[in-house]
Structure 1
Amino acid sequence: MTTRQANSLDTLFRPKSIAVIGASATPTKIGGVPIAHLLRYGYRGDIFPINPQHQTIQDLRAYPDVRAVGKDIDLAIVAVPAAIALNALKQAAEANVKSVVLFTSGFAEVGETGAIVQRQIGALARTSGMRILGPNCLGVMSGESGVYATFSPVAGTGIVKQGNIGLVSQSGAFGGFAYSLARERGIGLSHWVTTGNEADVDMSDCLDWMIDDASTRVILAYMEGCRDGAKLVRVLDKARAARKPIVIVKVGRTDLGAAAAASHTAALAGADAIYDAVFKQYGVHRAATIDEAFDVAYAVSVGGLPRGRSIGMLTASGGAGVLMADEAASLGLDAREMPEHAQKQILARVAFASARNPVDVTAQITTDEELLPLSYRLMLEDANYDNLVIFQSAAGLSPRGPELVQQAVEMRAKYPDRVIALSSLFTPELHRQLDDGKVLAFADPSRAVRAIAALAGFAASGVSAEKVAALSAVQLADATLSEAGALAALQAAGIPVMPHQVATDGAEAAAAAERLGFPVVAKIVSPDILHKTEIGGVLLNLQDKDQVAKAFDELTARAKQAKPHARIEGVLIAPMIKGGVECILGMQRDPVFGPVVMFGLGGILVEALRDVSFRLAPFGKAEAHRMIDSIKARAVLDGWRGAPAADIDALSDALVALSRYAAAAGDKLESIDINPFVVLPKGKGAMALDAVLVIKQSKP
């Protein structure tokens, strides 16, 4: 096989034949466990044990060498010591094996010697076209075809039911735990895979395959890191376009160690912040815990996606209603009140009820058989809520449990475009009935609300990213620019900057100030002095020509004293800009994902508060608005304490232009720091008042 099967892992997840290299007659050994699993759980394809020391293994004919099989082999499981693993893989490639699960450990995870062999494994995969999962992985399981190509003990204690949740884990131990948790919670999986060291097949490959897989409705992933950010982004964008929800548990909240870098953006951008931005930009739900991940995946699996963010909450307990309301408000769900006529109908039956939303019908629900159906109808028809959560305490275990379940299932069948969750305690049989009826079952009503918020997020993000016209390649200087050079570069890229002029003597500075209009600001201009305020390199509120001429002499003297070897280009003169909201715009080149744009409110507290948002470049105006809306202090831009609303459109245009410039500039551009960027009142625009561009210098 000379062509690499880059777009299909069919033979990994649905092999028609499996060879086990290093097969063991002992069902509990690593080379024996997968054979035992395959036989026990009804794998329907051919199984070829490979071991030169045996004629038969577990009642199957054994072969001395994978090349001796003489038949097509879709998948080979390799369970041999690290010292001979590469040779076993070469023999598999010679036998035209299509895919491999490599259990063997002792490669990159143990040191450079192992890393060298691991790179050779990756090279073999690329040259032969044989896809290799691992090394150092627990393998793959796919119940629909009886494939249990794993040595994990979790399958030995019972398999999960067949479902529509695909599970991908970079960690074998976590993958095994998640498999067991799914089994104990009664959650069905379509496929399960752990990727290990990812010499060839990585998490993105598995996500890509599951996006195309008709039996997978939602993907749950455990991620530790990513080496190919562009590949992951392409896959996540594909998932969003296909409306295939992805839930990721991403661990490793480690900063890039960029706090000492020259820009605010670098200090604020950490590895975790960038991953978080990528997930938000491409509609991935990032779960903080494994329980949350399973709650959301289960909710998609059973309930599907809602048509919107409105939520009705029906309860027999005022306290539970408050819990649900608090959760809904904190997650930004639309918990609007019931229509007045609907409230009156509920109060006519229960005068002491609370009929707004949450609707608390109290314990009266146990004595009035018509109260629950009436509430359903009013909340789903008259109030027209997209989602409905019903809290029934422990009634699911009472004699009324079957009736409650039947009513909920009937309501879901009548309103198939709504998501309905019933919160109570249930027997396994009633839980299954709810699942079959596409009604979510949660013991904790707060978890039900959180899951519905995640579903609403998936529904809202199910659109591909805007197509952004690319800039032609940007030619950058071979050195970091002064403020004047940085402003000129940004202005050429379509980012508005303040009116200004660089003067080379006092008289020129005074004349520039008169043209621009007093009062003005004067700033030293030098590519070697990026943080001007630290040396007193900025003078504000200069009122006349004499003050400006004097300021020129004072600033140049200060610069020469503080930085004797600095290159001085002159003094920048600009009018004092009054009013508006100070923001910070920035760009940082992430080692995994490339250029990342940052936005936040400006000022001295930006690094302390870290109220900023990030997006991968380039992006369009809709994404820029989402970026602006995501900061906690967003209300400041709408007018705070009587201030006029800011020009959000001008701000979003600037963010789009910055993202296009960052994407076009290439690897040579390390960072951009625009601080402050003033957003003037609506209709009056926005402009950069200062900027720093850090450019990677070519090596001699």
Structure 2
Amino acid sequence: MNRDIGLDALLAPGSVAIIGASTDPTRIGGRPIAYMRDAGFQGAILPVNPNRTEIQGLPAYPSVASMPCVPDVAIVAVPGAAAEQAVADLGARGVKAAIVFAAGFAETGADGAAAQDRLLAAARVHGMRLLGPNVLGLFNARIGFYGIFSASLETGYPLPGRIGIVSQSGAYGTHVFAAARDRRIGAPICVTTGNEADVTVGEVIGWMVRDPDTDVIAVYAEGIRCSASFMAALEAARLAHKPVVVMKVGRSERGQAAARSHTASIAGNDAVTDAVLAEFGAVRARNTEEMLDIAYLATRRIYPMRNTLGMITVSGGAGVLVSDAAETLELEMPLMPPETQARLKTLLPFAAPANPVDCTAHVFNDMSLVGQFTEAMVDEGGYSSVLAFFTHTGGAQSIAPRLRAELSRVRDRHPDRLYILSVLASPELVAQYEADGFAVFEDPTRATVAIHAMGRFGAAFARGPGSKLPAVPAIDLPDRSPDEAGAKRLLAAIGIEAAPEQSCASAEAAVAAAAALGFPVVMKILSPDIQHKSEIGGVLLDISDAAEVRAGYATLLARAKAAAPSARIDGVLVAKQLRGGVECILGIHRDPVFGPVAMFGLGGIFVEILRDVAFRRCPFGEAEAMDMISGIRGAPLLLGARGRPPADLGALGRMLSRLSVFAHRAGPRLLSVELNPVLAMPDSGGAYALDAVLELEAPP
């Protein structure tokens, strides 16, 4: 069976069976029937219960085999072994998809995981798609389908709209739905995925991308079980210009442990998750409120590629709040043109028309000033997003009609801009403002966060394909992790340069190497078993003559023997000591979810204490590498801060890009690479790996 057909049957079925159907509309097997009958589901509803002939006014059937027709989807509301048998019977009958409510599977440990494997095998032998197990279910209110047992629907059904919700957690997914409904935000489709034995969050996102009635996708995730489908769905959403806002939990160690026990998910490295979401244009929300704010504003379907914020306000304090929030977010708030500021001052001498444009409460005495000030901001200021703060005054019945008329005239003349109001008004008046084309927020700082997200979506939607990958030859990995010299030789084959150096098996060989390289030199113990040489005193700097080389050779061997008596010692590495560049760190680690990931940062305290680093999934081209380099907080040190010459960023970008391609092609045996430090020389002086650690997994 085509897997997409199975998803269609699951998410937009024409008929449904309920295995374990109940006459009690408040029980797990009874709620879906009650909800669908109340909501007017037009397809066949087939209750299956061997002990009943009628359930909630519908004919009931004793078994799957006795159903008069084959439904598109079945809800399995029986536990344990009975659920396994039901899935097998449904698959044999030709049902396309099943929703398994039962818990006690992979989320409980090894025995549960084995039961889940059997459940999945029973479905897959027939090509049937499986949602769950340990799942609350889903609803698609557009067709009145409620394959779900959440009590949240007792307090109200979803509102019409174009937001889809996807959640690994059933209870939290319906919490998001209920919060949206209570805020009058339309989210008519909500899918919870539970343990994801088969259907994953990524697949559901992909279905919503293809759904013509869904414009915005809100996601709650504890871990990504199938990174390939997740990334493919995010990229499909980006290309379709459909915003995806993600609340990914599991940032902390305790949160990651809770995610594993909850839905058997692998939370992964949180910084890597951030990088992957940014790569595909998804915006990460910190909490439910922020996720709904962003999704709500995104339904306006205006995503500025270069987002600039202009604010008109009757409160200087609100202007300060928004200015602070925008600066934190790095959302641009350019000043109004000087000539426009001068003209507005002639209209209202005590206005502050820079940006924020404080037109004071005086404008409510002459409402035409609101229109003139706002028009000037849009037409002459050129802002892509306009936030207007009118507080409770915008909710006053004596003022609102005239205010709406002035603002609407501006919007009608410039419909391509994003307009947001911060007012305190009745739900009825808020609905009128929204009908005029304005998004409405009570809190202007929350509005600013959502506005910033629209610009991030716009930039992602406008982005073309990634830059071309560099040509990197295939490399055969050795059977075991090499020492530093071996790691550098391997990396040299892909174009990563090191300082001139030589491996030496004796003190006299070291003296000769130092003389050939030119003093001063660096001496380092050479051992595949000692990765962090500086921690045992295994690195000597500023060696300036032959006598120091001989003494240093003996010192390094003695320190290695004392600190790691069983380590294999291959000798001493003698290297030309380079000076004058900026120390950086480049690294690769294998993320359990997304595979090889590259890291870039400045060396020293910047990586060890400040953790000022950037991550990106491998592989990537030089343009993406340059984005990583320029994206760290310490980038000005590479650009020539305080009169220093700029570092060779081109060489750094080439090295980072080549390393990413190597890591991608090396396969799962490559566990990590660390180049620390890499010295980025001034101007066009190149970049050199002064140390290299390459960790490999032994061959099978």
TM-score of the alignment, normalized to the shorter chain, above 0.5: yes
For the 8 Å contact 1:37–1:148, the answer to whether it is kept is yes
Write out per-residue CA displacement over residues 372-393 of structure 1, whole angstroms, 9 at most, x where no aligned residue.
Answer: 1111111111111111111112
Q: Show the counterpart of 2:77.
A: 79
Does the 8 A contact of 1:482 with 1:527 survive in 2? yes
Partner Cα separation in structure 2 for residue 453 and residue 347 of structure 1: 29
Corresponding residue for residue 232 of structure 1:
230
- AA aligned to 2:104 is G
Distance 2:238 2:86 in 1: 39
Report the alpha carbon displacement of residue 116 of structure 1 after superposing the two structures with TM. 1.5
CA distance in 2, matches of 1:531, 1:111: 37
How do 1:8-23 residues align onto structure 2 when only pairs under 5 Å count? 9-23=7-21
CA contact (8 A) 1:589 1:671 kept: yes
Q: Is the 8 A contact 1:520 1:541 kept in 2?
A: yes
**Which residue, 209, 218, 221 being the options, matches 2:219?**
221
Higher mean displacement: 102-111 or 446-455: 102-111
The aligned counterpart of 2:271 is 273
The alpha carbon displacement at 1:431 in A equals: 1.9
Q: Distance in 2 between matches of 1:443 and 1:140?
A: 31
Where 2:641 maps in the other structure, the secondary structure is coil
SS at match of 1:66: coil
Aligned-pair CA distance for 1:323: 0.7
- 2:418 equivalent in structure 1: 419
Specify the alignment match of 1:506 in structure 2.
507
TM-aligned CA distance change 1:305 to 1:605, over 3 Å = closer
2:91 maps to 1:104: no
2:601 corresponding residue in structure 1: 600
Tell me the secondary structure at the aligned position of residue 310 of structure 2.
strand
Matches within 5 A, 1:435-584: 435-462=434-461, 463=463, 465-466=465-466, 468=469, 471=472, 473-584=474-585
Structure 1, residues 347-377: CA drift from partner, whole Å, max 9, x if none?
1112121111111111121112221111111
Give the aligned partner of residue 264 of structure 1: none
Match of 1:377 in 2: 375
Q: Which ranges in structure 2 are unaligned for 5 or more consecutive residues?
A: 257-266
Give the structure 2 partner of residue 656 of structure 1. 657
Tell me by how many angstroms 1:57 deviates: 1.8
- Displacement of 1:210 in angstroms is 0.8
TM-aligned CA distance change 1:677 to 1:94, over 3 Å:
same
More displaced 10-residue stretch of structure 1: 312-321 or 17-26: 17-26
Output one character per residue of 1:423-469: Cα deviation in whole Å (capped at 9) or x when no partner: 11122222223333332111111111110101101111123652636
| Residue of structure 1 equivalent to 2:263 | none
1:193 to 172, 191, 194: 191
1:22-421 alignment runs, 5 A limit: 22-255=20-253, 271-398=269-396, 399-421=398-420
The one-letter amino acid paired with 1:425 is L
Mapped contact 1:402–1:430 kept (Cα < 8 A): no
Q: Report the Cα distance in structure 2 between the residues aligned to 1:319 and 1:303, rounded to whole angstroms.
A: 30
Taking only the aligned residue pairs, the percentage that are identical comes to 45
Amino acid at match of 1:423: S
Which secondary structure state, in structure 2, belongs to the residue aligned with residue 128 of structure 1? coil
Find the aligned partners of 1:256 and 1:630 in 2 and give their Cα distance: 29
CA offset digits 1:564-613 (Å, max 9, x no partner): 44333232222221112111111111112111111111114522222212
Distance in 1, Cα, partners of 2:595 & 2:270? 14
Residue equivalent to 2:262: none
Paired residues of 2:200 and 2:226 also in contact (CA < 8 A): no
Contact kept in structure 1, 2:326 and 2:332, CA below 8 Å = yes
**Which SS does the other structure have where 1:676 is aligned?**
strand
Aligned to 1:617: 618
Q: What amino acid is aligned across from residue 395 of structure 2 in structure 1?
A: L
What is aligned with 1:266?
A: none
Letter of the 1:480 counterpart: S
* Aligned-pair CA distance for 1:288: 0.8
Q: How many residues align?
A: 687
TM-score by length of 1: 0.94
Q: Greater shift after overlay, 602-611 or 145-154?
A: 602-611
TM-score for both structures, normalised by structure 2: 0.94
Letter in 1 for 2:425: F
1:607-629 C-alpha deviation (Å, 9 max, x unpaired): 22222121111112232222223
Q: Greater relative contact order: 1 or 2 (C-alpha under 8 angstroms, separation 6 or more)?
A: 1
Question: What is the CA–CA distance in structure 1 between the aligned matches of 2:618 and 2:189, rounded to whole Å?
Answer: 33
Match of 2:260 in 1: none
- Kindly indicate whether the alpha-carbon contact (under 8 Å) linking 1:303 and 1:420 is maintained by their aligned counterparts in 2: no
Distance (Å, rounded) in 2 between the aligned partners of 1:415 and 1:683? 48
Deviation at residue 241 of structure 1 after TM alignment? 2.2
How far apart in 1 are the matches of 2:191 and 2:41? 17
Structure 1's 199 and 562: CA in aligned 2 closer, same or farther, altered over 3 A? closer
Letter in 2 for 1:429: E
Distance in 1 between residues matched to 2:431 and 2:662, nearest whole Å: 54
Report the alpha carbon displacement of residue 470 of structure 1 after superposing the two structures with TM: 7.5
* Per-residue deviation, 1:471: 4.9
Secondary structure at 1:485 match in 2:
helix
Q: Which runs of 5+ in 1 are unaligned?
A: 259-268
Query: Within 1, Cα distance between the matches of 2:564 and 2:117?
Result: 48
| C-alpha distance in structure 1 between counterparts of 2:74 and 2:535, whole Å | 64
SS of match in other structure, 2:424: coil
Question: How far did residue 256 of structure 1 move?
Answer: 11
CA distance in structure 2 between the partners assigned to 1:661 and 1:257 by the alignment: 33
Output the amino acid matched with 1:417.
Answer: D
The 3 A distance-change label for structure 1 pair 129 and 55 is same
Q: Which amino acid aligns with 2:631?
A: S
Aligned to 1:647: 648
